[in-house]
Homo-oligomer: A and B are copies of this chain.
């Protein structure tokens, strides 16, 4: 198994920022969160088809990591070949303000970024798990 998201791996320090980066500090994890939380995508195929074209192995890996961290949960919507939909937990939904702050900074300082419409920046209400 390649980048199998296996190790819980010891934290580098008790600093909240370092801890958060141990979980979200890469180029894809927060895009998956963005797509589930603000773009309302829930199935593997929908998440795979985002504009940045995340490789499917990394998507599977990130969904697994986020699930272990209880940032997202999943619900089986089909039994025969088991298929799941992914949802934010309360913990995950609480990332809304952080994403909004990220977008705000980028809109201010990175020319060419589009300004997300307000309704996309609203926290969507989904069922808990």
- Residues on A lying within 8 angstroms of B by beta carbon are 11-22, 25-28, 30-31, 34, 51-53, 91, 94-95, 97-99, 101-110, 112-116
User: What is the CA–CA distance of A15 and B113 in the complex, to the nearest angstrom?
Assistant: 6
Shortest distance from the beta carbon of A96 to any chain B beta carbon, whole Å: 10
Give which listed residue, B12, B28, B102, contacts A20 with CB less than 8 A.
B102
User: What is the CA–CA distance of A72 and B38 in the complex, to the nearest angstrom?
Assistant: 31
Give which listed residue, B17, B108, B115, contacts A30 with CB less than 8 A.
B17
Give which listed residue, B14, B52, B99, B116, contacts A114 with CB less than 8 A.
B14
Shortest distance from the beta carbon of A25 to any chain B beta carbon, whole Å: 4
Supposing A14-B112, A101-B98 touch, asked if A31 and B20 sit within 8 A by C-beta, the answer is: no
Give which listed residue, B52, B53, B95, B98, contacts A15 with CB less than 8 A.
B52
